[in-house]
Amino acid sequence: MPATLSHQVSGPQLADAPAVVLLGSLGSNRSMWDAQVRELARDHTVIAVDHRGHGGSDVVPGPCTIADLCGDVLALLDALGVDRFHVVGLSLGGAVAQWLAVHEPTRVRSTALLCTAAKFGEPSGWVDRATAVREGGTGAVADAVVARWITPGRAEEDPALVAGLREMILATSDEGYAAACDALSGWDGRADLGRITCPTLVVAGDEDPSTPPDVLRELADGIPGAEFVTLSPAAHVPTVEMPERVSEVLRAHLTSAGPA
Ligand SMILES: O=C(O)CC1=CCC(=O)O1
């Protein structure tokens, strides 16, 4: 049964305005896309979404899979009357975007995969993180996670940005966060990458310790015709660290992918 997802629809809601779905990382909410929403909503219907257990979305107790998260997004889009869409996903959101591109090829117009992976390391790391959060809450991991989101140089210059991101993680439901870790532990999309046929952009952060550029390069190499861009200086969440550059790269991708 799909979860009801908190979301924000921005921009022209006309039949001819292409829809763009924005899906964020583990422990985030849709405010991580605020800058990109402002830019892209000038001429797209932008749907920024909170994953289940994140932001204002339903919390569904117990483990889930990437396919479950995709089912939530598809149910939301069906309810909004959106048939075809571009999907932009960062990290966890990028796994959801990959799955959608593989399994819903007639609906997905293009994908942009930011700071993500076809497999996020060994499953045991995610099982351990899920246990840590179920036992100690998101506070048990927040400092370590936020240190990977922003480059050390930027974190030193902008402690308010770091504090805001930490709050975002702390505001995520403990069970929602842990369930998303379960989804990441079971995620391995490597065998399916060749089935992604839509225009695809892959974006790396040059200082991303979670999904370093070689992981993104491997992802791009597995997807026929994928374009690859590295942002610098950027860690795991460039949408907040270098928002204008991310908006520019996404606009160029959406323009070249076209509405069809
Ligand atoms: O939280 C992290 O360590 C990085 C990450 C992996 C998947 C995701 O969404 O964030």
pLDDT in tens, 178-232: 999 999 999 999 999 999 999 999 999 999 999 999 999 999 999 999 999 999 9
Any atom of ligand 1 within 6 Å of the Cβ of 54: no
Please report the atom of ligand 1 found closest to the CA of residue 28.
9
* CA 239 / ligand 1 centre spacing (Å): 14
pLDDT of residue 52: 98
Q: Which helix (H) or strand (E) holds 230?
A: strand 227-231
Give CB contacts under 8 A, 24+ apart, made by 183-186. 183/63, 183/64, 183/65, 183/66, 183/68, 183/69, 183/92, 183/95, 184/26, 184/66, 184/92, 184/95, 184/120, 184/126, 185/123, 185/124, 185/125, 185/126, 185/127, 185/130, 186/65, 186/66, 186/123
Any atom of ligand 1 within 6 Å of the Cβ of 26: yes
Question: CA of 233: how far to CAs of 17, 35, 41, 237, in Å?
Answer: 33, 18, 26, 11
φ/ψ of 118, rounded to 5, equals: -80, -15
How many other CB atoms are found less than 10 A from the CB of residue 122? 10
Please report the atom of ligand 1 found closest to the CA of residue 184.
7
* CA 56 / ligand 1 centre spacing (Å): 19
pLDDT in tens, 86-122: 999 999 999 999 999 999 999 999 999 999 999 999 9
* CA 247 / ligand 1 centre spacing (Å): 21
Across residues 25-51, what is the average pLDDT?
97
Q: Which helix (H) or strand (E) holds 98?
A: helix 92-103
pLDDT in tens, 114-138: 999 999 999 999 999 999 999 999 9
Any atom of ligand 1 within 6 Å of the Cβ of 184: yes
pLDDT of residue 258: 80
Helix, strand, or coil here: 97?
A: helix
Residue with tokens 């629809």: 9
Any atom of ligand 1 within 6 Å of the Cβ of 120: yes
Contact 60, 77 (CB under 8 A): no
Please report the atom of ligand 1 found closest to the CA of residue 92.
9
What is the maximum span of the chain, computed from C-alpha positions, in angstroms? Answer: 48
Any atom of ligand 1 within 6 Å of the Cβ of 210: yes
Q: Measured in Å, how far apart are the chain's first and last C-alpha atoms? A: 31
Any atom of ligand 1 within 6 Å of the Cβ of 44: no
Any atom of ligand 1 within 6 Å of the Cβ of 126: no
% of the chain with per-residue pLDDT over 90: 96
Lowest mean pLDDT among 21-30, 50-59, 99-108, 251-260: 251-260
Any atom of ligand 1 within 6 Å of the Cβ of 23: no
pLDDT of residue 260: 47
Please name the amino acid found at residue 78.
D
pLDDT of residue 250: 98
Contact 113, 200 (CB under 8 A): yes
Q: Is the complex ipTM more than 0.95?
A: yes
pLDDT of residue 186: 98
Q: What is the mean pLDDT of the chain?
A: 97
φ/ψ of 240, rounded to 5, equals: -105, -25
